[in-house]
């Protein structure tokens, strides 16, 4: 079996669902269930003996160690993280606690567990750390995309905390021999995405008749990766990645934020048209966030060359699937939009605009 941290969050839950749709190998799903961890993401697995959920914090090394000893997983896949740049600006302590201290505690427990495994289980064991392209900093319009050898230059408390976790994983491989793998992905999108992030926020606000808040001029560029493509990349890295290596995972889909919002509005105009006008009429530019990185782009040639992986979705096909998912899952959206969430978006975007 495999041990997954953060498996009730957006990417982690999609990975668990995807894994069990293709394999009977059980999953131990260890998640703290913070605001972004949602068991409703895993409702389809209720009663499935292959999915063993345990609520807990990766900072509690003794609990992690006990679970590893009990279940004897062949791999640990580390998704658990605080991951929202805006929240890291308002409250960086949680990011240091989870992304740095939590990763350290998980590595310590994993190291001891791995060191005491008998052969051949010890040689077969893997620790796969899921990270972000934001550790590389920002690019100008003329710069080549991030590669695995790009120097780290994080610019937000979030990206700095993820950079630190990457360095810890690297250190545990080079110092102790822990068989690690690291993936650095671009911006994910798809179903079960917590609606404070750009794409789900725009979909839910558009359908509610509320403002579509776009930071600054909206010309910040990101590479967009459909979450199911990301899941397939992680499976491939776990299966065939070289120990100690890093693999960048991208969608080859660079888009400005404003372009993303325009495409979303056009899709909604097709799939759920308004009585009058276009969803584009709801776009409202708001004050840019501090230190907003201008461009990210991923060079994903290494994973394609070494492991034969490349994304199957274009941005257009993936985004159409994403919009269709939100249109079909109103109950999920309403459940995650709690009072705390409404307070958060009010704080973040515009003191005078009602966005939710």
Question: In the numeric block, which tokens belong to residue 8?
Answer: 């009730």
- pTM value > 0.85: yes
Whether 134 is catalytic: yes
| Cβ burial, residue 156 (10 Å; 0-12/13-18/19+) | buried
pLDDT-derived band at 207 (thresholds 50, 70, 90) equals very high
Spatial CB neighbours of 174, under 8 Å, sequence gap ≥ 6: 244
Catalytic residue selected from 86, 133, 254, 299: 133
**Among residues 175, 100, 93, 94, which one has the least CA distance to residue 135?**
100
Alpha helices per DSSP H over 72-176: 85-90, 92-95, 103-115, 121-124, 157-176
Whether 306 is catalytic: no
E-strand ranges in 203-331 read 212-215, 221-226, 246-249, 254-256, 283-286
Worst-scoring range by mean pLDDT, 14-18, 293-297, 319-323, 331-335?
331-335
Q: Which architecture, in CATH terms, is 2-188+226-252+291-312?
A: 3-Layer(aba) Sandwich (3.40)
Contact 195, 145 (CB under 8 A): no
213 DSSP 8-state letter: E
- Torsion, Cα of 110, 178, 165, 107 (10° steps): 20
Tens of pLDDT, residue by residue over 71-124, are 999 999 999 998 777 788 888 999 999 999 999 999 999 999 999 999 999 999
Say how many C-beta atoms besides its own lie within 10 A of residue 100's C-beta.
Answer: 18
Alpha helices per DSSP H over 177-226: 198-208
Query: How many angstroms separate the CA atoms of 208 and 319, rounded?
Result: 19
Bigger pLDDT: 197 or 14? 14
Tens of pLDDT, residue by residue over 342-355, are 454 455 444 433 32
Contact 77, 15 (CB under 8 A): yes
Through-space distance between the first and last CA atoms of the chain, rounded to whole angstroms: 39
Residue 131's DSSP bridge partners are 184
Query: How many angstroms separate the CA atoms of 95 and 93, rounded?
Result: 5
pLDDT-derived band at 340 (thresholds 50, 70, 90) equals low
Spatial CB neighbours of 9, under 8 Å, sequence gap ≥ 6: 31, 36, 37, 38, 41, 79, 80, 83, 194
Mean pLDDT of the chain: 93
Question: In the numeric block, which tokens belong to residue 226?
Answer: 């459909």
Helices (H) and strands (E) in the chain, counts: 14, 12
Spatial CB neighbours of 345, under 8 Å, sequence gap ≥ 6: 196, 201, 355, 356
**Among residues 299, 224, 301, which one has the least CA distance to residue 255?**
224
Bigger pLDDT: 283 or 342? 283
Catalytic residue selected from 136, 158, 192, 296: 158
Strands 212-215 and 180-185: unpaired
Position of tokens 């065939």? 240
Contact 122, 150 (CB under 8 A): no
pLDDT at 85: 73
Catalytic residue selected from 31, 86, 134, 211: 134
Tens of pLDDT, residue by residue over 134-147, are 999 999 999 999 99
**Above 90 in pLDDT, residue 290?**
no
């Amino acid at each position: 079996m495999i041990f997954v941290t953060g498996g009730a969050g957006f990417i982690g839950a999609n990975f668990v669902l995807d894994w069990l749709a293709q394999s009977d190998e059980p999953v131990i799903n260890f998640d703290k269930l913070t605001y972004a961890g949602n068991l409703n993401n895993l409702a389809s697995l209720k009663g499935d003996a292959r999915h063993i959920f345990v609520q807990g914090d990766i900072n509690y090394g003794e609990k992690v160690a006990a679970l590893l000893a009990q279940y004897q997983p062949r791999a640990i896949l580390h998704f658990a993280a605080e991951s929202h740049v805006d929240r890291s600006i308002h409250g960086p302590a949680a990011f240091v606690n989870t992304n740095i201290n939590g990763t350290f505690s998980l590595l310590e427990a994993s190291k001891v567990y791995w060191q005491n495994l008998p052969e051949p289980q010890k040689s077969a064991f893997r620790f796969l750390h899921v990270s972000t392209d934001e550790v590389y900093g920002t690019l100008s319009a003329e710069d080549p995309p991030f590669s695995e050898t790009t120097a780290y230059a994080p610019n937000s408390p979030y990206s700095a905390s993820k950079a630190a976790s990457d360095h810890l994983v690297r250190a545990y491989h080079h110092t102790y021999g822990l068989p690690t793998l690291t993936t650095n992905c671009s911006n994910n999108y798809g179903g079960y995405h917590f609606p404070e992030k750009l794409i789900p926020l725009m979909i839910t606000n558009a359908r509610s008749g509320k403002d579509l808040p776009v930071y600054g001029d909206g010309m910040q560029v990101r590479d967009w990766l459909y979450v199911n493509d990301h899941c397939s990349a992680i499976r491939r890295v776990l299966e065939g990645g070289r120990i100690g290596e890093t693999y960048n995972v991208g969608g080859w889909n660079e888009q400005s934020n404003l372009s993303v919002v325009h495409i979303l509005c056009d899709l909604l105009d097709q799939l759920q048209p308004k009585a009058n006008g276009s969803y584009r009429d709801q776009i409202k530019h708001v004050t840019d966030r501090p230190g907003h990185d201008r461009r990210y782009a991923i060079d994903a040639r290494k994973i394609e060359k070494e492991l034969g992986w490349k994304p199957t979705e274009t941005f257009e096909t993936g985004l159409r699937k994403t919009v269709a998912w939100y249109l079909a899952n109103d109950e999920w959206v309403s459940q995650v939009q709690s009072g705390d969430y409404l307070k958060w978006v009010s704080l973040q975007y515009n003191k005078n605009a009602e966005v939710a």
